[in-house]
Amino acid sequence: MLILYSGCSMNLNWYIGIMKRYLCFIFLFSVFFASATMTIGRLDLQKNAEITFTAKESLDKQTDSLKTVRFYLERSDLNKNKGLYANAYEDLWLALLLAEKEGDKKVLATIHDELGVLYGIYGKHAKAIHHKKQSLRYIKEGTFSKRKDFGSLVSAYFNLAVQYRKAGDLNNGLVYLDSCKLMEQTRMKNVKENPFILSEKGIIFLLKYDVVQAESYLIQAKDIFEKNDKNYLVIIYAFLGDLYTLKDDIDKAIHYYEKSLNRLQISNTHTDFKTDVLNKIATLYNKKGELKKAYFYLDKSTKISDSLFGVRTKVNGQLFEIKDKYQEAMAAKDNYIKEQQHIIEKKKREQTQLLFVMAVIVFGLVFLAILSYHRSKVRKLKTEKESAAIKIKHDKEKLNAILETKSKELTVSALQLIEKDKNIEILLEALKDNSSGKYGEIQSKVVRGNKDLWESFNLRFTEVNTDFYKRLVKKHATLTPTEQKHCALIKLKFDSKEMAKLLNISVNSVHISRHRIRKKIGLTREDDLSNYIANI
C-alpha cells in the first residue's frame, strides 16, 4: 500500500513541483527570514524603512513620475522576496498607473513581466500569459538599436515559453523557444547554443514523454552550465532526476536529485525546488525499500511544506481579497470617459440639430428672397415686354398707317399722272391732225417727261417701301432691273394698262413681263402674283 502511495505521490509531486517552483522559492525565502534571529529581523525592517524613507524623501523633492515608478518597483520586489505578495501586487498596479501616463515602454515591459510572475506563482496562468505578452509587446515597440535590446526581446520570448510550459501548453512553449533561437541567430549573430533554451526544450520534451530528445537537450545544457552558470544546475539536475525516474533508472535519478540539493545548499538559489526534490528522493528510496532514508527525506519535505503552507496562509491570504486599485481606477476612468463622451456626443447632436435648423431657416429665407426677387424681376420684365410690345404695335400701326397713306398718295399721284398722260395723248392726236410739224417736237418732249416722271415715281416708292428692292433681289436674284420696276407697280395693285401707260410700253409687253416674273418666282396658275409680291 505504501509503495502504491509512493508511486502515485512521485508522479503527482513531479507535476506539482514543475508548476510551483517560483512559489516555493518565495515561501522558503519567507520561512528563512521568519526563523532568523530578532536582530536580523530588525535589520531587515530597518533596511525596508530606509528604502521607503529615501524613496519618499526623493518623491518630496522631485516630481519625476518615473522615479516614483522605480520606487514602487523596488518596494514590490522587496515585498515579493519577503513573501508579501499582496503588497507587491498592489505596488505593481500603482506603478502601472503612473507608467502608462509616462509611456516609457521599458518600464511598462518590466511591470507587466513582474505581474506575470506574481500571477504565475498562484497558478493564474491565463493572466500570467496575458501580462507576459504585454511585456513582449512593449519590448517590441521599443527601439532595438543595441545588442542588449535584442537580448531583452529574447528574454521576453523565453519567459513566455516558460509560462506556456507551466500552463501545460507545450506546443506554444516550443514556438516561443524557436523564436528565441531565431532572434539570436538572425539579429544577435549568436551561433553558440543558449543553455537556457536547451534546458527549457529538454523540460518540454520531458513533459511530452520524449525521453530521447529530453535527455539530449538537458545533457547539453548541463555540460555548458557546469562550465559557466553553476547556480542553474539546481534546475538542470532536478529535471535530469525526473528524466531518469521516468526511465526507471532509480540510482541515477537519486544521484541527480542529490546533486541538485547539494548545489542548492551551496548557492542558496532556486530554493523553491527543495521541497519537491526531497519528496521525490523519499519516493525513490521508498521504491528501493530503504524506508529509513525514505522517511528521513519525506519528513524534511513535510516540515518545509507545512511551514510554507503556514506562511502562505498567513501572509498572502489577503492577495485574493485585495481590491484591484488599478482595475478600479481604470473602470472609474472608463466610466468617466464614457460619460464625457456621452455628454460630448449629446452636445454634438444638439449643435448639429441647431445648425440644421439654422441652415433650414437661412436656406428658407434665402430661397424666399431669391423667389421674391425672381418674381419681381419677372413681373418687371413682363411689364417691360408688354410695354415694348404695345409700343412696337403702336409704332407698327403708325408706320403702317403712314405707309398706307403714302402708298395711297403715291397711287393717286400715279393715277393722276396716267390721266394727265391720257389727256396729253388726246392733245397730241389733235395736234397731229392740225400741225404735223409741231407734233414730232412736242412728242419728243412728252417722252422725255415720262422718263423723268418714272424716276420721280420710283424715288417716292423707294422712300415709302424701304428695302423692298433688297428683299426682292435677296429672295429672287434672277429678276432684272426692269422686272423689279414692274414688281413695284404690281405691289401697288396697278393693272396692266396702268403699268403700260406709266412705263410707256404696250399692254402686251406688260403681260409678257408679268409672265416672266411668275416663271422666275416659281408661281403656279393658282397663285396670285399681286398678293405674293405685296407680302415681300
103 phi and psi, to 5 degrees?
A: 75, 20
pLDDT of residue 193: 82
Q: How many domains does the chain have?
A: 2
242 or 140, higher pLDDT: 242
Same domain? For 81 and 185 the reply is: yes
pLDDT score at 199: 92
Looking at the structure, tell me whether residues 414 and 316 fall in a common domain: no
Closest alpha carbon to 465 in 495, 485, 451, 481:
485
Q: Is residue 280 part of a domain?
A: yes
Residues 303 and 431 occupy one common structural domain: no
Give the C-alpha distances (Å, rounded to integers) separating 280 from 270, 276, 286, 298.
Answer: 16, 6, 10, 8
For 508, the domain range is: 392-534
Selected residue with higher pLDDT from 218 and 458: 218
pLDDT band at 511 (very low <50, low <70, confident <90, very high): very high
Q: Which residue has the higher pLDDT, 40 or 281?
A: 281
Q: What percent of the chain has pLDDT over 70?
A: 75
Query: What is the DSSP track for 410-469?
Result: HHHHHHHHHHHHHHHHHHHHHHHHH-HHHHHHHHHHHHHHHHHHHHHHHHHHHHHSTTHH
Question: Is 0.75 topped by the overall pTM?
Answer: no
- Residue 409 belongs to a domain: yes
Which pLDDT value is given to residue 6? 36
Q: Which of 297, 322, 347 is the last residue of a domain?
A: 322
DSSP for 369-409 reads: HHHHHHHHHHHHHHHHHHHHHHHHHHHHHHHHHHHHHHHHH
Rg (CA), the chain: 63
Average pLDDT, the chain: 78
Same domain, 415 and 304: no
Number of H helices, E strands in the chain: 22, 0
**For residue 46, what pLDDT band results from cuts at 50, 70 and 90?**
very low
Q: Which residue has the higher pLDDT, 269 or 20?
A: 269
Q: What is the pLDDT of residue 329?
A: 62
Segment 112-130 mean pLDDT: 88
> What digits encode the pLDDT tens for the residues 212-245?
999 999 999 999 998 887 788 999 999 999 999 9
Higher pLDDT, 471 or 229: 471
The answer to whether 97 touches 326, Cβ cutoff 8 Å, is yes
Give the burial class of 126: count Cβ atoms within 10 A of its Cβ; 0-12 exposed, 13-18 middle, 19 or more buried: exposed
Minimal CA–CA distance to 193: which of 215, 173, 213, 221? 221
Q: How far apart are CA 218 and CA 212, in angstroms?
A: 10
Sign of CA dihedral 197, 199, 202, 206: negative
Please state, in angstroms and as integers, the Cα–Cα distance from residue 91 to each residue in 5, 26, 56, 127, 501, following that order: 43, 17, 14, 17, 137
Please indicate, yes or no, whether residues 22 and 155 belong to a single structural domain of this protein: yes
* Residue with the three cell numbers 523596488: 74
Highest mean pLDDT among 252-261, 415-424, 452-461, 516-525: 252-261
In this structure, is residue 20 part of a structural domain?
A: yes
Q: Report d(CA 28, CA 82) in Å as an integer.
A: 9
In a domain, residue 516? The reply is yes
- All three cell numbers of 469, joined, read 428692292
**Cα gap 350→499, rounded to integer Å:** 93
* pLDDT score for 439: 66
- The pLDDT score that the predictor gives to residue 20 is 42
Q: For residue range 51-84, what is the model confidence (pLDDT) as tens digits? A: 443 444 444 444 478 888 999 999 988 887 776 7
Q: Residue 284: its pLDDT value, please?
A: 93
The confidence score (pLDDT) of residue 219 equals 94
For range 278-294, the mean pLDDT? 91
pLDDT-based confidence at residue 368 (cuts at 50, 70, 90): very high
pLDDT of residue 340 exceeding 80, the answer is yes
In tens, the pLDDT along 165-207 reads 999 999 999 999 988 888 877 766 666 788 999 999 999 999 9
Quote the pLDDT of residue 47.
42
Is residue 491 very low, low, confident or very high in pLDDT (cuts 50, 70, 90)? confident
Do 278 and 419 lie in a common domain?
no
In a domain, 299, yes or no: yes
Residue 89 lies in a domain: yes
Looking at the fold, whether 408 and 276 belong to one and the same domain comes out as no
Question: Of 278, 303, 322, which residue constitutes the final position of a domain?
Answer: 322
- The CA distance from 299 to 297, in Å, is 5
pLDDT-based confidence at residue 164 (cuts at 50, 70, 90): very high
Is 179 in the same domain as 292? yes
Based on the fold, state whether residues 271 and 412 are members of the same structural domain.
Answer: no
d(CA 364, CA 369): 8
Q: Which of 322, 348, 367 is the last residue of a domain?
A: 322
Is 356 a member of any domain? Answer: no
pLDDT at 367: 92
Range with the poorest average pLDDT among 100-109, 278-287, 308-317: 308-317
pLDDT at res. 447 = 62
Contact 500, 506 (CB under 8 A): yes
- pLDDT confidence band for 120 (50 / 70 / 90): confident
CATH number at residue 167: 1.25.40.10
Instruction: Kindly state whether residue 377 falls inside one of the protein's structural domains.
Output: no
Question: What pLDDT does residue 512 have?
Answer: 92
pLDDT at residue 16, rounded to an integer: 39
